[in-house]
Amino acid sequence: MMTLKNKKLAFLLTSFLFASSFACAKISDAEAKALLQKAEDSTAFYETDFTGSYEIVQDKPGEGRSKTNATIYRRDSTSKWTILINAPLKDKGKGYLQTDNSIWFYDPADRRFTFSSSRDRFQGTNANTSDFAPMKFVRDYKIESATEVKLGKFDCVLYTLKATSKKVDYPMLKLWVSKDGLMRKKEDYSLSGQKLRTTAVPSYQTISSSNTTHQVPVSMVIQDNLQGKKINGKMEYEKTLISISNVSLEKQDDAVYTKPYLELMSVK
């Protein structure tokens, strides 16, 4: 069951998914690239580790909601991350590990690691495992267009990006970046131009450590534009609401980013 707070949050996030944007003017290539680089940098923690508690609520129309709680550890400077699932009880102890450019899924039921992919759905939700890692807008995409727009209350630049790498999850993106360099909305497209997913991130929290400050999403919603059902004659799509709390930028032990750590934590 979702709390009243989460229901209100889900409503606000869903409203933001469908917020209209109105074009104002084009910006220079240099300004567009600089702001896109800032948006990319805001998704990463290269000078520190990151730890956060994630509540992930999956909403399937006509089937109800399910909730997963996980702790996520990231060391972006070496492209390592660990996800430890804490709830529900049937999934407790499962986990994911990215190290040496490989992603592994650990299931304590059979004590085995199996190879996973950044494109794989996380625990049957509408989130991919790549949604929990830094985004590479500048490295992996080229700017097809960049226009100043208004998205709700935010002054943004709307980008159309096309992939320059075959390793990306989606070959085309539309990306709304507010003038402070934060991603507010993202649409993922297939090569044929079909919209696949929509992600909204309307609010951020400021997290500071001894030598750095970061903006971390308070929550985000991911809508699958292909998966849904008609309810009372209206099409409703699957959505995943992700809430982030208990954020720390303190350095973690190196062991956190290893297979033995997941094995150890699964038996506690």
Average pLDDT for runs of 10 along the chain of length 268:
54 59 73 95 92 96 93 96 96 93 92 87 90 93 95 93 93 96 97 96 88 90 92 90 95 96 86
Question: Both tokens of residue 66?
Answer: 């399910």
pLDDT at residue 73, as a whole number: 98
**Three-state DSSP class for residue 75:** strand
Alpha carbon distance 64, 215 (integer Å)? 32
Amino acid at 148: E
pLDDT at residue 167, as a whole number: 87
pLDDT at residue 116, as a whole number: 87
Tokens 């959505």 -> residue? 239
Question: Looking at the chain, which runs of residues are DSSP E strands?
Answer: 21-26, 50-60, 64-75, 80-87, 95-99, 102-107, 112-116, 141-151, 154-163, 172-178, 183-189, 195-200, 204-208, 213-217, 219-231, 234-248
pLDDT at residue 6, as a whole number: 55
- For the entire predicted model, the pTM comes to 0.88
Domain segments of the chain: what residues? 4-266
pLDDT at residue 69, as a whole number: 97
CATH of domain 4-266: 2.50.20.10
